Structure 1
Amino acid sequence: MHHTPRRFARLLAATAAALAGLGLAVGAAAPAVAAPAVAAVTVSAPSAVTAGDSFDVTVTLTGATDVFGYEAVLAFDPAIVAYVDGSAVVTAGGYDAVSTASGTVDLVYTRLGTSPALSGTISYTLKFTAKAAGSTAFTLRSLSLVDPASAVTPLSNAAVSPAVAVTPGSVTAPPAGTTPATGSGSGSATSTRSTASTADDLASTGSDVLPYVIAGGLLVVLGAAAVLIAVRRRRAGEAR
């Protein structure tokens, strides 16, 4: 792995800031300690996910000794997955800072104040979202360890996760026993609904208009009767 002085400077600055914030300081006459080390590094991730889903990627350091802090850069294909901001989960009792670039997540972690260095198994977890169908592995591009005296030890323990296959999002199937609507079927259904609606409207209109039709018919009959009566009276007068 490559040593980047600028990253190590940020790590040391973060450690100093944490100590200052707590009002503590590491004594200048601190006893010498062994360089931090780890026996193995692994990166774990699911073998398959669906586009749109979120999943965890965990970096694990096993057999660690005298690790007061570390910096790890994880690389991936940004066209396939994306890091979820603020999702980092680290060992309790420390301070962490995350910076991102296209296809990388750079995590810096340090213990606080007089907290003891870590030994045994150390891990941190990041959450990602699957963006598009494809495949990507997660590669620990660089890893550097810091001891309680702030000395930095870069490691060459490259670690890569198995490839994560991202499949397209699933499409919800229609309920059993139903037939998907096609262009002609949809038009036929619309036509049937329209015809039924028109028939109902006409029936409703007919029932509403019927009283007026009856009343109008009665008026016509009464008018005709009046005319007949008038005509009869006129003829009777002429006959006299």
Structure 2
Amino acid sequence: MSDTTGRRRMLRARAIALVVTTLTLAGGSALAAPAAFAVAVPDTAITFEVAPDEVTEGETLEVTATATDAADLYAYDLTFSYDPALLEFDAESVVGPEGGFTATSVGDGLVAVTHTRLGTSPGLDGTVELGSFSFLALGGGDTVIELVSAELVDSNDDTVTLTDVDEVPVTLIALPDPTQSPSPTPSDSVTPTPSSTPTVAGTDPTTPDQPLAATGGDATPWLIAGAAGIVLIAGGALLAIRRRQAVSE
């Protein structure tokens, strides 16, 4: 026997024990119900919905089970399977029909919702919301929530077991990992256009149209010639002065 099968039997045993105990405490009043109601239990159909069927990590989704064509449904046990790596069951979110007692049992990837009517509360008839509960999305991925079995009990303690009842696919969207920084998007590099080197005026001494450059290059001979001319002029003036003095004597 597999571990999953063993857990399911454990959950069912707890559910049936709860139902039997409750019926016993009720003083057998429910067992006195007309037998005509007992034959209607096998006609009851069970389905469930998940809303929304796509959530982001950290958000919740709600599971709601419904019975149609119910007749004298006095107690039931619904066993769901789910992926505990992606979904976390919220035990505080369970809600059952009024006029009865609802309990839950949780195993590894299984949750059983058990309900029984109390005292003289009538059995459930027609289309009835059997219960609801929530899951918290833990990560991202595609998964399935399955109603793997449903045990239905009428007021005459007749039991019907349904297997592989229903399943609903769910899509979970993971949040971005805050430890990973996004890679920068490479941008097109722009190659700078080389500009021509500016030419400073007067830096080329060979350019004929730069008079300052030419003058600066020939300055030394002109200075020498000028100094010699001054010396000659000064010498001539000195000789003229001496001649004048000689004549006057």
Q: Does 1:15 align with 2:19?
A: yes
Q: Does 1:71 align with 2:77?
A: yes
Return the alpha-carbon distance in structure 1 between the equivalents of residues 108 and 59 of structure 2.
20
User: 8 Å contact 1:38–1:61 — kept in the other structure?
Assistant: no
Return the alpha-carbon distance in structure 2 between the equivalents of residues 28 and 119 of structure 1.
17
In the superposition, relative to structure 1, how do residues 27 and 159 fare at CA in structure 2: closer, same or farther (>3 Å)?
A: closer
Percent identity at matched positions?
32
Q: CA deviation at 1:136?
A: 1.2
Question: What residue is the counterpart of 1:44 in the other structure?
Answer: 49
Q: Does 1:109 align with 2:115?
A: yes
Moved segments of 4+, more than 4 Å: 4-9, 27-30
Aligned length: 170
Return the alpha-carbon distance in structure 1 between the equivalents of residues 172 and 138 of structure 2.
8
Amino acid at match of 1:44: E
User: 8 Å contact 1:73–1:141 — kept in the other structure?
Assistant: yes
Return the alpha-carbon distance in structure 2 between the equivalents of residues 94 and 6 of structure 1.
22
In the superposition, relative to structure 1, how do residues 41 and 59 fare at CA in structure 2: closer, same or farther (>3 Å)?
A: same
User: 8 Å contact 1:37–1:67 — kept in the other structure?
Assistant: no
Q: TM-score, with normalisation over the residues of structure 1?
A: 0.62
Q: CA deviation at 1:104?
A: 1.0
In the superposition, relative to structure 1, how do residues 79 and 27 fare at CA in structure 2: closer, same or farther (>3 Å)?
A: closer
1:1-240 equivalences under 5 Å are 7-19=11-23, 24-26=27-29, 30-32=33-35, 33-35=37-39, 36-45=41-50, 46-123=52-129, 124-156=131-163, 158-161=165-168, 163-169=169-175
Return the alpha-carbon distance in structure 1 between the equivalents of residues 31 and 67 of structure 2.
29
Higher relative contact order (Cα pairs below 8 Å, separated by 6+ residues)? 1
Return the alpha-carbon distance in structure 1 between the equivalents of residues 83 and 118 of structure 2.
33
Amino acid at match of 2:85: A
> What SS is found at the alignment partner of 2:38?
coil
Return the alpha-carbon distance in structure 1 between the equivalents of residues 11 and 177 of structure 2.
45
Return the alpha-carbon distance in structure 1 between the equivalents of residues 133 and 70 of structure 2.
20
1:88-109 CA distance string (max 9 Å, x none): 1111111111000111111111
Q: TM-score, with normalisation over the residues of structure 2?
A: 0.60
Give the strand-richer structure, 1 or 2: 2
Larger Rg: 2
Return the alpha-carbon distance in structure 2 between the equivalents of residues 59 and 76 of structure 1.
15
Name the Cα RMSD after superposition: 2.9
Q: CA deviation at 1:168?
A: 1.6
Amino acid at match of 1:42: T
Structure 1, unpaired ranges of 5+: 173-181, 183-240
Structure 2, unpaired ranges of 5+: 179-183, 185-249
Q: CA deviation at 1:171?
A: 8.6
Amino acid at match of 2:74: F
